[in-house]
Structure 1
Amino acid sequence: SNSFSTMQAWQRIRVRSAEVDWHKLVWHPVRIPKHAFCLWLALRRSHKNRDKLLAIGVLHTASCVFNCGKVESLEHLFFQCPFTLNIWKAVLAMCNVLRPIVQWMDEIKWMLDHDRGHKFPTLVRKLGFAASVYHLWLERN
């Protein structure tokens, strides 16, 4: 056909990568785009945390901006900092989930292990997870 198709152009130029196990946490039907994008960056470890900025000489200190006295890393920010941990704990409580908060990779694993497709409680947890990451990153900045 002689007509231009954005979809066909995209399919021809894009580089396909292996599907990651966490893609359903980010790319689900009720996602909020800016939350999904921020979560996608966090899951890819692409956010420029203070520890990364210190390592490249942009900052002189990597102290957590929430004044807990620890070094800000991705793992610390999501959800080992007392401030962010309490927020994530409250979000989970609103989803009727009462459990200890664990390290970042274990939180992701827990979210994946408790993924029930498009059932309402699962979608609310996914939205809460993405919103928490987005708003904590926004507050951090």
Structure 2
Amino acid sequence: MSKKSGGLGIKEAGILNKATVGNLVHWIHMKADRLWVKDLFAAGYQNNHWIADPKGYSIKSGYLWLQGVYPPVNWYQVVWDSWCLPKHSFVGWLIKLEALNTRENLFKIGVSDTDKCVICEQWTEAHKHLFTECAFSSRIIVGLERWLQVQMGGNLSNFSRLQQQVCHLVLMAGWYNIWFERNRCRVEFSICRPDKVVNEVKKLVHMRVQGLVKGQVSQVDA
């Protein structure tokens, strides 16, 4: 599926192959005055969707038709904002799909002997707990919210585009660092203080914004 629909935008090989063959069918249709082509269409190609398309055929249109329609997800612009680092967006994408290898997911398939949070060891390590409810994670999120003076994941419709991008950048970086520290705790049995993680995110965001913002910004964004 496309990124807008919750996927990674990687085309499915089987569907792409059919759409590519459709290009050949369309070309044959343009040569339909030849007897051998008429015989071929008599075998079942004459009612092909692509040929009836008034806009003409393309591999892209054929692929989209064969794939079907998938509704967009409401978190697409947050996770895949161009300001976010790709590795941060990828982790954010897995979080939204609840597809990370949390202890809850590993316990369900018999890989882990416990479903308790690696960090607090008190509650089930579900995605919601790990990134919002765990005392460690919540202190990081609160620290970032105080810095931005905005609620992470809240309604940003009244914010400028630049402000929205900064908020998306901070959220994805925060989630990535929480997951990083969780894994470090699992392997090394140690973890950074939440305030140190917040400072690391701030440094990253400052460098990222300085590298992306060209020229002066408006007084509102400043």
Is the contact between residue 26 and residue 130 of structure 1 (CA under 8 Å) also seen in structure 2? yes
Letter in 2 for 1:35: H
Letter in 2 for 1:121: Q
Give the alignment's TM-score, normalised by structure 1. 0.75
Query: Once the two structures are superposed, what CA deviation does each residue of 1:42-100 show, in whole Å capped at 9, x if it has no partner?
Result: 11111121111111110111111112511111110011000000001101111112x6x
Shift of 1:120: 2.6
Residue aligning to 1:131: 173
How many percent identity over aligned positions? 28
Rounded Cα–Cα distance in structure 2 between residues aligned with 1:27 and 1:115 = 17
Shift of 1:119: 2.5
Rounded Cα–Cα distance in structure 2 between residues aligned with 1:138 and 1:36 = 14
Residue aligning to 2:77: 24
Residue aligning to 2:134: 81
Is the contact between residue 92 and residue 125 of structure 1 (CA under 8 Å) also seen in structure 2? no
The within-5 A match list for 1:53-64 is 53-64=106-117
Structure 1 unaligned spans of 5+: 1-7, 100-106
Structure 2 unaligned spans of 5+: 1-15, 21-58, 184-222
Rounded Cα–Cα distance in structure 1 between residues aligned with 2:94 and 2:117 = 19
Structure of higher CA gyration radius: 2
Give the alignment's TM-score, normalised by structure 2. 0.49
Question: What do you get for the CA RMSD once the two structures are aligned?
Answer: 2.6
Give the 4+ runs in structure 1 shifted more than 6 A.
none
- Highest relative contact order (Cα 8 Å, sep 6+), 1 or 2? 1
Task: Figure out how many residues of one structure are paired with residues of the other and give that number.
Answer: 124
**Are 2:156 and 1:119 equivalent residues in the alignment?**
no
Rounded Cα–Cα distance in structure 1 between residues aligned with 2:103 and 2:168 = 26
